[in-house]
Structure 1
Amino acid sequence: MTTTTTTTSKRPAVPVPVAVDADTRPVRLAPLDILRLGLLGIRTRKMRAALSALGISIGIATMIVVTGIPASSQKALMNELSALGTNMLQAVPVPNQDPPVQLPPQSVDMVRRIGPVTEVSAVANTHSEIFRNDRVGSDDYAGLAVLASKTNLLRAINAEVQSGRFLGPTTEKFPTAVLGSVAATRMGIAKVVPGQPAPQVYINKRWFTVIGVLARTPLSPDIDRSVLVGWDAARTQLKFTGHPTVIFVKAREDGIDAVRDVLGPTIYPELPGLVQVSRPSDALAAKRATQTTFSALFLGLAGVALLVGGIGVANTMVISVLERRREIGLRRALGANRGQIRSQFLTESVALSCLGGLAGTVLGVLATIGYATYQGWPPVIPLPAVAGGFGGAVLIGMAAGVYPSIRASRLTPTEALATT
């Protein structure tokens, strides 16, 4: 009997490929999915989200308001200066000289010969006393000046007559007067009505008939507090010597600086340093500029508000991570990786800041438009402030969400699910 022995040789095991279900592979979330996840916490905690975004809203609204309101004021100033005239110069004697400086009587004609000059006029202080009538005391109208005026004064200072008429070639020779706006109020003469008896004022014991009242002159406030009489009438009635006190000059815009340089030597060739030349529009612009000196402070306060708002968002996100540990653990257990968790919470922080930024932008724009409209200014919304404020909100949201998102992504599934 033959026994057959079968020998089985051992061969190395060949790894058998295991089929992997495509559904178990990590899924890359689309940007829209990440945004939907980021908005989940905001939708479920609306009150907390609103309070967190409030700080950023206030900061951005403040930033827009403190830049928009001065810009609107500046625009109104430019419009006002354009209407009043930025091409005006005033020449006066240097004050506090002993003896007092007197401008030559022919100085107006000499200035008229300067090429870029388009208009020249002058007034002169007659050092006369004025009264409403001959029965009042001398102290009742202190502060009002009686000025001799050239007939072209209104064109030189861009002034207007509120009622009545101004001095002309005929009336300047007679005892007639025109009141500035402040002088008319103090004299109790609101307006001159055609067809009715003209009011009179008492100047140096002589009666002068009031033929007109001027509107307010912002670039020449001294005219508002003056009573204007004709140049010739001042010579014959008030013993005026003919030396001008203030010379008003208008010139072409492209030649205003050149005229300013030669105005002193032209008026007083012997001693040009005794003539002081000013540009009234510069003084008005400087006055308005001093009213906006606190803009930098307000911008600093807006930055502090933004910082406080960012801290509030960061605090909200940290608390959100602590409260949603079980949610994080469940998502990690179902396959969400750390990058997806970071993206979710970072997106939520940025979305929260963007909502606050959007609300603050709308609030700031509406507040600026409302205040500018109330003041009668053209509303100006600085686009850099709007873009910078909203961009700052996005950056604050990113910065506020970095730590909470990293902290959330470091939670392991078991650690998160074990939290009660």
Structure 2
Amino acid sequence: MSAAAPDRLVRPPRQHPTDVLRLGLLGIRTRKFRAALSALGISLGIATLVLVTGIPASSQRALEDRLTALGTNMLRAVPQPDQNPPVTLPESAAGMADRIGPVTAAGQVANTHQLVHRSDRTDPGDGLGLTVLASGDNLLSVINGRVRAGTFLDAATDRLPTAVLGHEAAGRLGMTRPLPGRQAQQILVGTTWFTVIGVLDPLPPALDLDRSVLVGWEAAKKNLGFDGHPTVVYVKGREDGIEAVSDILPATLYPELPGLVQVSRPSDALAAKRATHSAFSSLFIGLAGVALLVGGIGVANTMYISVLERRREIGLRRALGANRGQIRGQFLTESVVLSLLGGITGTALGALTTTGYALYQGWQPVIPFPVLAGGLGGAVNIGMLAGVYPSLRAARLTPTEALATA
């Protein structure tokens, strides 16, 4: 009778999953130091996976935020200059643009053709090179602007003679920061005194607004003889649809002759942003693959050595009736558990390190959830692959072979 006959004739009781797990943990419990070193190898691989995705992803998010601040999702529509008669956009131009599908916000400004002075004692013909613009109260959100000091125009101040200064305009007027608790500073716009309520930060997407004095839409009509027709319309939309918006915006704002409306093309920063995203994605895949390969080789090596050192144990179990499937299950379970422990440790270590580094750099931490789930899933798969050959080798040993070479 062949050596394999007992496996065919005697069928030992089916093992409960908890028994399989207990046997799989036997090698880890009895060889704690070696198991720790093996788990360290896979944990470093998974931690590297999280790091090479999390840190570049956090850096990419910070870069994308900077590029977005440059106006990658913004368009600027103006009438063609030097037309006779001049092109006049409708008063509701911003509302018309806002109805375009990919558009998320739209605002408008209008040149009041008024001069601004620091006081009534300065040269009446010297407007300091500044432009007085009537502005909607939602303009700041459309152009991704921020108020450096004070507040921006809103519904409560729209009809009042109040003004907000662009960054450069504030410098020329000597009002870089309104002082709280003191008498409000005023400027002369045309023949009307306006109270300065805010100063803006620099506006990279709309540099012309840096040299502007912004006043409420209704206040401009009431005090400056403004006719209510905008001269510039700003549109913000989804980046994946900004080119389509650019194509239909002229016909939306001036359907009679769309060619008389100029629309600024999307910023060059949009192309750079997309190229950066593609480059980062390729880098992630390559580095993650190398990290997982290194960890898998470490686990496979540990399991192979474990089989060689535990021939006596394998022989005794086979002599007591364990079949090949149970031996395979024991060593495969040990490999998977070992890799899973390393995966959990590596995922936690990578996430903590990524978060700490991102906060140190002043970035918003970004750790893609698929990476965390993939780290644990990858550890399990690596454990299974790494344990296949050692478990098959262990299962092929007959009791006499295992005991004779132990």
Q: Which amino acid aligns with 1:416?
A: A
Correspondence 1:13-52 to 2 at 5 A? 26-52=12-38
Q: Once the two structures are superposed, what CA deviation does each residue of 1:299-349 show, in whole Å capped at 9, x if it has no partner?
A: 432232122111110000111112222332333344433332222211111
Q: Which amino acid aligns with 2:150?
A: S
User: What is residue 155 of structure 1 aligned with on the other side?
Assistant: 138
Answer yes or no: is 1:146 the counterpart of 2:133.
no
Structure 1: state its 5+ residue gaps: 1-23, 135-143, 235-239
User: What is residue 398 of structure 1 aligned with on the other side?
Assistant: 384
User: What is residue 109 of structure 2 aligned with on the other side?
Assistant: 122
Residue in structure 2 matching 1:272, options 248, 258, 261: 258
Cα shift at 1:376: 8.0
Cα shift at 1:126: 7.3
Q: Which amino acid aligns with 1:50?
A: A
Q: Which amino acid aligns with 1:195?
A: R
Q: Decide whether aligned partners of structure 1 residues 233 and 100 sit closer, same or farther in structure 2, where only a CA change above 3 A counts.
A: farther
Cα shift at 1:379: 7.2
Structure 2: state its 5+ residue gaps: 1-9, 100-104, 122-127, 221-225
User: What is residue 355 of structure 1 aligned with on the other side?
Assistant: 341
Correspondence 1:5-404 to 2 at 5 A? 26-63=12-49, 66=53, 70=57, 90-92=76-78, 104=86, 106-109=88-91, 111=93, 114=96, 121-124=108-111, 146-150=130-134, 152-158=135-141, 162-163=149-150, 166=153, 171=161, 178-181=164-167, 184=170, 189-193=176-180, 195-196=182-183, 198=185, 211-216=196-201, 220-222=205-207, 225-228=210-213, 246-248=232-234, 263-265=249-251, 267=253, 272-277=258-263, 292-293=277-278, 294-366=280-352, 382=369, 384-404=370-390
User: What is residue 401 of structure 2 aligned with on the other side?
Assistant: 415
User: What is residue 3 of structure 2 aligned with on the other side?
Assistant: none
Q: Which amino acid aligns with 1:419?
A: T
2:46–2:343 Cα contact (<8 Å) kept: yes
Cα shift at 1:214: 3.5
Q: Decide whether aligned partners of structure 1 residues 116 and 386 sit closer, same or farther in structure 2, where only a CA change above 3 A counts.
A: closer
Q: Decide whether aligned partners of structure 1 residues 275 and 106 sit closer, same or farther in structure 2, where only a CA change above 3 A counts.
A: closer
1:354 match: secondary structure: helix
User: What is residue 11 of structure 1 aligned with on the other side?
Assistant: none
1:109 match: secondary structure: coil
Q: Decide whether aligned partners of structure 1 residues 68 and 145 sit closer, same or farther in structure 2, where only a CA change above 3 A counts.
A: farther
2:178–2:199 Cα contact (<8 Å) kept: no
Q: Return the TM-score normalized by structure 1.
A: 0.62
Task: State the distance in 2 between where 1:128 and 1:312 align.
Answer: 75
2:311–2:403 Cα contact (<8 Å) kept: yes
Q: Decide whether aligned partners of structure 1 residues 261 and 292 sit closer, same or farther in structure 2, where only a CA change above 3 A counts.
A: closer
Q: Return the TM-score normalized by structure 2.
A: 0.64
2:27–2:334 Cα contact (<8 Å) kept: yes
1:265–1:271 Cα contact (<8 Å) kept: yes
Task: State the distance in 2 between where 1:103 and 1:393 align.
Answer: 72
Q: Once the two structures are superposed, what CA deviation does each residue of 1:154-173 show, in whole Å capped at 9, x if it has no partner?
A: 3344367641675855648x
Identical positions, percent: 51
2:178–2:196 Cα contact (<8 Å) kept: no
Q: Which amino acid aligns with 1:107?
A: L
Q: Decide whether aligned partners of structure 1 residues 214 and 399 sit closer, same or farther in structure 2, where only a CA change above 3 A counts.
A: same
Cα shift at 1:149: 0.8
Cα shift at 1:189: 1.3
1:163–1:213 Cα contact (<8 Å) kept: yes
Instruction: Say which one has the larger Rg.
Output: 1
